[in-house]
Amino acid sequence: MTQVIDLFAGAGGFSTGFRKAGFAITKAVEFDASIAETYIKNHPGTKMIVDDIKNVDQTNEFSHNEAEVIIGGPPCQGFSMAGARNRDGFMGDPRNYLFKHYFNIVKKVKPKVFIMENVKGLLSMSKGEIFREIISIFSDKERLDGDSYTLYSRVVKAVEFGIPQKRERLIIVGVLNKENVNFAEIWEETKRKIKVSDKNFFDNVTLADAISNLPLPTENGIIDAPEPKTNYEKELFKEGKIYNHIKRHHSKKVLERLSKIKTGDNFKSLNENIKSIHSGSYGRMSWDEPTMTITTRFDTPSGGRFTLPDQDRTLTAREAARVQSFPDDYRFYGNKTSVNKQIGNAVPPKLAYFLANFIDNILKEY
């Protein structure tokens, strides 16, 4: 079984998709203990290292060739807008330490393949200098003791992988010491193979397809698993109890605002000055469309278009997890703020499953 290390593991979205595809996640790193708890309880077979990656980098935790794949995405806040002009500017900038330590662990382990996930804005940061510098660092034989990675990058849209949200992310894949990799052909072949085993995998999925079988939220957030009605619900269905289905109790003023907003509309329907940086603030979703990107503020009306089409409330954590494609038996631990962060920042497991199959097909040609 192919062994994988998950850096910046979060709640485990990336790992969940890779596990489903048959990979073994041997180790994971997550610095937030409350988030790590969710990972540990859902991935009991993985060694979780709860620490800052800069500390982990200084230990002997990782060794050469211990895993064939490294996955994870250093948070983009670590990338400065300058410093790519000289050789040590980018790597020497302390604001980029998250990326630096990701690189150091890749250098130490030398996996055959690594995959990074990040916001697509990374492509345009500092007029593209940051992205180009990342590509050059992993291609630099001097930095990698004579080795180098051939890089492939692509912006992926969640809706194109049968996920009911308009999430877009940049993925960067590196293959060790192999120059002629036809990434585009392997990508298309991966799609063809998945369609053979699951003809509905890439179907367009709406909000209704994703959550319409869920009952009303409960005070303790626990419900019996409802019978799935759609192909998407069948994919995520697990018998037994489902957790995290608790609604947020909005203030009277917020409820009054929500009552005035129709499906597809937002704060512009209100005759008042709403101070929000989000253009979709107080937006009401539509049943027959995917959602906007699930963020860490999916339970806040002013945070975006997260209000249900037919109820004056925002998404529950369970509903947001469904939209993110987590299986129904995936339970999130911690306080509300932590759980929202875990779900909003996760790599959708269904997208991760596709990427795992893509990596598997690359390894077969290695």
pLDDT tens sequence across 323-355 = 999 999 999 999 999 999 999 999 999 999 999
Packing angle between helix 183-197 and helix 349-364, nearest 10 degrees?
Answer: 120
Residue 99 lies in a domain: yes
* Digit-coded pLDDT (tens) for 210-234: 999 999 999 999 999 999 999 999 9
Alpha carbons 160 and 234: distance in angstroms, whole number: 19
Tell me if 270 is assigned to some domain.
no
pLDDT of res. 89: 64
Query: Does 338 reside within a domain?
Result: no
Of the candidates 76, 119, 270, 274, the residue annotated as catalytic is 76
85 in a structural domain: yes
Tens digit of each residue's pLDDT (9 = 90 or more) over 23-75? 999 999 999 999 999 999 999 999 999 999 999 999 999 999 999 999 998 88
Please choose, from the candidates 136, 173, 118, 129, the residue with its C-alpha nearest in 3D space to the C-alpha of residue 151.
173
Q: Is residue 234 in some structural domain?
A: no
Read off the pLDDT of residues 82-103 as tens digits, 9 standing for 90 and up.
Answer: 544 555 667 777 777 788 899 9
The answer to whether residue 190 is domain-embedded is yes
Please list the residues that pair with 153 across neighbouring strands. 172
Which residues neighbour 28 within 8 Å (Cβ) at sequence distance 6 or greater?
5, 6, 7, 9, 12, 15, 39, 43, 46, 47, 48, 49
Give the structural domain span for 145. 3-201+347-365
Supply the pLDDT for residue 24. Answer: 98
Split at pLDDT 50, 70, 90, the class of 366 is confident
pLDDT score, position 254: 92
What is the CATH classification number for the domain harbouring 148?
3.40.50.150
Q: What are phi and psi of 312, to 5 degrees?
A: -85, 65
Active site residue 76: yes
> Looking at the domain assignment, is residue 157 inside a domain?
yes
Question: How many structural domains are present in the chain?
Answer: 1
Kindly report the pTM of this predicted structure.
0.95
Give tens-digit pLDDT for 238-264. 999 999 999 999 999 999 999 999 888
Q: Cα 294 from chain centroid?
A: 10
Q: With the C-alpha atoms ordered 80, 83, 85, 88, is the resulting torsion angle positive or negative?
A: negative
Within a domain: residue 155? Answer: yes
Look at residue 271 in the predicted model and tell me its pLDDT.
76
Using alpha carbons only, what angle is made at residue 37 by residues 36 and 38, rounded to the nearest 5 degrees?
90
